[in-house]
Chains A and B, each alone.
Chain A
Amino acid sequence: MLPFTLEKVTSVQDAIAAASSGRRFIAGGTTLIDLMREEVEQPDHLIDINMLPLSEIRIDGSDLVIGALARMADVAAHPDVQRLHPLIAESLIEGASPQLRNMASIGGNLLQRVRCPYFRMHDAPCNKRTPNSGCAAIDGLNAGHAILGTSNHCIATHPSDLAVVLVALDATMLVRGPRGERSFPVEELFRLPGDTPHLEHTLLPGELILAVRVPGGFYSRRARYLKVRDRASYEFALVSAAAALDVGDGVIRQVRLAVGGVGTRPWRLRTVEEALIGKAPDRKIFETAARLALEGARPLSGNHYKLELLPRTIVRALEMTGEAA
């Protein structure tokens, strides 16, 4: 690990004022410290934001507002979250391990970095870590990599479970930076790799995530997060799906669907959603619609199985929305 200095801030203004290039905010540190030990991240100064009053979880009208510093474990266990947004609780519980969830914050979770093994290896080319060095995964081992949103420069999957759910639920980010506060859809936080895979998000320099706002809605009743993986816990998704259905008079009135493990960013599936509207919620319909998720998919040597697993996961998640959690 490279030497660095640490500064504790107690107000949002101080945090923003302290930010500059070569510096990083640190919350739980579960992503950042890990990568600093491997010298993938090399900040010379850390701004510890854990003292900021950003841990609150509250109801605002019909919205749920989650502070950026709320811990994954606390959010998952919160009665309002469980009542209004079981989907969020489910996605958090399925992530990482209890120890990590106790440390890890919501803001940090959205900005966690990819799990591509080559990203962590200094002796492998990686455009994301070292721009223009190449991509070791494209012709290497890529079973865990993305099939959607990839480029010839990077094919890494976005790893967050929570982000998939927030994108499905039309949640918005609340951020503040040197130029003031702004709000935008969570979906717009994430960039496609294109030819600049080292740029992962759309935050402006010095911007701090304050909170995430999740609108209330139909999906509290029929919503599930399905995470498919080889072991029961402590593994990132091979494929995951967040699905919410609003069914009335025997037809699907509204639907929200996003998937993880397959995209270079959390992947909302609007074409599949559209195909479902007005149809009966049955397996045949789900299967036909789920096939549309593969539009534009580019499998690689190691991840062909995702072409099969993705639609199956979607179908199953849609079905599960009708079952008890």
Chain B
Amino acid sequence: MTVNVIGKPLPRVDGRAKITGVARYAADFNQPRQVHAVIVSATVGLGRVTGIDTAQVEKMPGVVAVITHRNAPRLPYAPHKSYIDPATGERLHVLQDDQVRFYGQPVAMVVADTPDQAERAAVALRISYTAERPIVDPADPKARPVVPEAGKQPDARLPADTARGAADSALADAPMRVDEIYEIARENHNPMEPHATVAAWNGDRLTLWSKSQFVINEQAEIAAIFGLPPENIQVICPFIGGAFGTSLRTWPHVTLAAMAARQVGRPVKLVLTRKQMFFTTGHRPRTLQRMALGATADGKLTSIVHEGTGETSRHEEFMEALTSVTTFLYSCPNVRTRYRLQPLDTGTPNHMRGPGEASGVFALECAIDELSYKLGIDPIDLRRRNEPTIDEGENKPFSSRSLMKCHDLAAERFGWSRRTPEPRSMRDGRQLVGMGMASASYPAFHAPANARARLLADGTAEVEVAASDMGPGTYTSMTQVAAETLGLPVERVRFSLGRSDYPPAPSHGGSWTMASVGSAIRAACIAVQEEAAKRPREGRPIEATASSQRDPDVAARFSMHSFGAVFVEVAVDPDVGTIRVRRAVGAYGIGRVVNPRLARSQCTGGMIGGMGMALMERTVLDTRDGRPVNAHMADYLMPVNLDIPPLEAHFVEEMDPHVNALGVKGIGEIALVGMAPAIANAVFHATGKRVRTLPIRIEDVLTA
């Protein structure tokens, strides 16, 4: 029997469970005798804890324990790093000493019978400090950029410096030049679901029900911190209420939950407050970028210089792909990139949807737009004139690249031909109307992954992987891959994920889950069928485990990326400066689309994230002590329903035989990537005012 389900717009297999509340998220789990822990966060930005008055608080109703660096167990903190942890530096060790490295760092924890009692006691705990003024502003003259250690290696994935040709002299000689600084605010992921962990010990075995995009690594990390063999630790996370990268790393609250549970000898639930999610669970680093382009009068790029700096903490060097896309998006003989980090007294940043690419492409795609106006060339045409035939940075062919097809399709659907090129030339009533566009790109990553498939006597199948589903629809798309490979209807396939004792999967980030886990599932389903063909069933289940990875020879031969084109229309009020996105159209070349319904949902979600980046999101720090002042959903702005206009996502046909057997690239990140520059370019077209700082707000365009 052949069942064709890959490519079908199947509704979410877990939709009903989510809508009816059956789906359980980390904080929904409860254990017998469970108590509740609340973290006390530092109220100074740099210094030392000099006193903690625990006696009063210990006597408060329901309080079971007050844990501070004075009575906390010294944890082994064995070295452990995975690829989602910064390669350089050491993770924050919690409650191991009296030092405060940044505002909001955990300095104590209160455990009580009920969440309210714990919360009350946490507020009542008096802590004294000696404090210094932290440096949290990248513009502070005392903040010094450093060369990222891991970027210095010759084979670094994110090299600190790259160069081909002679970019600086070519820039100086160029007849046409754009040379500008672009700045992007710090952003926090702000998923709906808070970080939460329920920790329960049984002897020296620990179970964690914990919000995680990477259960295998959470297992390994907690094992290292507590000095236990990983097999002793089980991490369970069946559902995630949005994450956008914040749950890739195992942050200190997981350690604290486990520590508290061990200390009080009872299971502990720990849920972060919204405010605490601005402290120790990562953020998109603030970036400052110089983007310089040189071109001939007919629009051929002769030089690109891209120098970017991202903030990081003092204790770790978080790196992201800030300058990567610049090396291959355009054909240009002379390109130089430089990536630096600026250590500040803050928590460590981490990956946030489209990490690095979203920020870097903002600078590149705004600069290209600026160049198009200088040259008087249509921005799509300018891109076409500089479309490369190979990845000139790596000197390799692309496995597939449909960028210009994306532009053609999106331009047509958007109605780009109706645009008049002159800035401030289009109006709708009083409103200034602007149309802008940008290219997007994100790597088609692929990591080794494993899967187990089991054929049951009743004709159904079970498939298991230690993967995650933070919302894109992994449950559904993986069920489709398994069903199609096994030749079964989807109703007869049950796919499970989110347990560290399942076959290992890579982190659920980097848009590689479909490619990596999907390929492993396909391999396991083929393996189990071969197994079944070898021996009669005899009523017993037949099981096979398989792994898959990208063929290293193919990986070495090709440059593999997704590409996309984003078109946006904005309206700007000429009197009061309000900026509203009126519609957006994206077209993407992402290989094979496993489920167009989910893919579209991913893309529109990414576009909305990009709207946030362009027009709303920023975490504002008080430079006196490093506190975020808008750590609140009413004050940290993100698009709400009324902001979201009609959004369209289209996919160009793209057969890529090289990326993997399924022919899929990634989709989650790329949809955010081009949105911010497309909006910024549309704002310029509407107003004639070029804003190079994100988010663009009313006050930026008021005097346009």
Q: What class of interface size applies to chain B in its complex with A? A: 35 or more
Q: A140-B629, A309-B699 given as contacts; is B616 within 8 A of A316 (CB)?
A: no
List, in ascending order, chain A residues with CB within 8 A of B575's CB: 312-313, 315-316
Determine chain A's interface SS by DSSP, over half rule: loop
A308 at the binding interface (Cβ < 8 Å): yes
Residues 676 to 697 of chain B near chain A (Cβ within 8 Å) = 695, 697
Nearest Cβ distance between residue B609 and chain A, in whole angstroms?
14
List, in ascending order, chain B residues with CB within 8 A of A228's CB: 576-578, 698
Nearest Cβ distance between residue B622 and chain A, in whole angstroms?
5
Residues 229 to 281 of chain A near chain B (Cβ within 8 Å) = 229-236, 238-239
B56 at the binding interface (Cβ < 8 Å): no
A295 at the binding interface (Cβ < 8 Å): no
Q: A118-B629, A308-B703 given as contacts; is B578 within 8 A of A1 (CB)?
A: no
Check if B642 sits within 8 Å of A232, measured CB to CB.
yes
Check if B577 sits within 8 Å of A309, measured CB to CB.
yes
Q: Bound complex: CA of A229 vs CA of B695, how far in Å?
A: 14
Nearest Cβ distance between residue A145 and chain B, in whole angstroms?
12
B316 at the binding interface (Cβ < 8 Å): no
Against A, the Cβ 8 Å flags (1 = close, 0 = not) of B319-357 are 000000000000000000000000000000000000000
List, in ascending order, chain B residues with CB within 8 A of A115's CB: 634-635
List, in ascending order, chain B residues with CB within 8 A of A229's CB: 578, 698
List, in ascending order, chain B residues with CB within 8 A of A232's CB: 580, 640, 642-643
Check if A234 sits within 8 Å of B634, measured CB to CB.
yes
Check if A234 sits within 8 Å of B640, measured CB to CB.
yes
B12 at the binding interface (Cβ < 8 Å): no
Residues 115 to 130 of chain A near chain B (Cβ within 8 Å) = 115, 117-118, 120-124
Nearest Cβ distance between residue B679 and chain A, in whole angstroms?
13
Against A, the Cβ 8 Å flags (1 = close, 0 = not) of B255-276 are 0000000000000000000000
Q: What class of interface size applies to chain A in its complex with B? A: 35 or more
Q: Which of A118, A140, A309 contacts B698 (CB 8 A)?
A: A309
Nearest Cβ distance between residue A312 and chain B, in whole angstroms?
5
B297 at the binding interface (Cβ < 8 Å): no
Nearest Cβ distance between residue B411 and chain A, in whole angstroms?
27
B174 at the binding interface (Cβ < 8 Å): no
List, in ascending order, chain B residues with CB within 8 A of A230's CB: 578-579, 615-616, 637, 695, 697-698
Check if B699 sits within 8 Å of A305, measured CB to CB.
yes
A324 at the binding interface (Cβ < 8 Å): no
A226 at the binding interface (Cβ < 8 Å): yes
B30 at the binding interface (Cβ < 8 Å): no
List, in ascending order, chain A residues with CB within 8 A of B579's CB: 230
Nearest Cβ distance between residue B410 and chain A, in whole angstroms?
25
Q: Which of B629, B632, B640 contacts A141 (CB 8 A)?
A: B629
Q: Interface stretch among B83-91, B115-123, B206-214?
A: B115-123
Residues 218 to 234 of chain A near chain B (Cβ within 8 Å) = 226, 228-234
Check if A226 sits within 8 Å of B576, measured CB to CB.
yes
Q: Bound complex: CA of A230 vs CA of B123, how far in Å?
A: 33
B147 at the binding interface (Cβ < 8 Å): no
Closest 5 CB pairs of A and B: A123-B43, A305-B699, A232-B642, A233-B642, A316-B575
Complex A-B: 24 CB contacts under 8 Å? A1-B116, A1-B119, A3-B120, A117-B629, A121-B627, A123-B43, A136-B622, A140-B624, A140-B629, A141-B622, A141-B629, A228-B578, A229-B578, A230-B579, A230-B616, A230-B698, A231-B639, A235-B634, A305-B702, A309-B576, A312-B702, A313-B576, A316-B573, A316-B576
Give me 11 other A-B pairs in contact (C-beta within 8 A), A140-B629, A141-B629, A312-B702 excluded: A139-B624, A141-B622, A228-B578, A230-B698, A231-B637, A232-B642, A234-B642, A305-B702, A308-B699, A308-B703, A316-B573
